């Protein structure tokens, strides 16, 4: 079985892991109710999307 000759440096490890981070969710504010909602999704609070009611909610 092959064994690495030297320990990998912290810089090499960090360079490899530079793309492993988690991106935060993009949030915008709903123009109807003003609550924070994810982009390109129906608002969880009021069911509003693209200028119309997409989902009926019990209010």
- Residue at 44 is within a domain: yes
> What residue has token string 């069911």?
47
Confidence of residue 59 (pLDDT cuts 50, 70, 90): low
- Residue at 5 is within a domain: no
Report the number of distinct structural domains present in the chain.
1
- Residue at 51 is within a domain: yes
- Residue at 18 is within a domain: no
The string of pLDDT tens digits covering residues 30-51 is 998 999 999 999 998 899 998 8
The boundaries of the domain holding residue 47 are: 25-59
- Residue at 56 is within a domain: yes
**Cα separations (Å) of 24 from 8, 18, 30, 38?**
30, 16, 18, 11
pLDDT at site 17? 94
- Residue at 29 is within a domain: yes
Contact (Cβ atoms closer than 8 angstroms) between residue 45 and residue 31: no
Mapped onto helix, strand or coil, the DSSP state of residue 48 is strand
- Residue at 38 is within a domain: yes
pLDDT greater at residue 59 or residue 27: 27
């Amino acid at each position: 079985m092959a064994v690495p000759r030297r320990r990998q440096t912290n810089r090499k490890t960090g360079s490899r892991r530079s793309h492993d981070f988690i991106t935060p969710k993009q949030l915008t504010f709903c123009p109807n109710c003003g609550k924070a909602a994810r982009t390109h999704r129906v608002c969880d609070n009021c069911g509003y999307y693209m200028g119309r009611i997409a989902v009926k909610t019990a209010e």
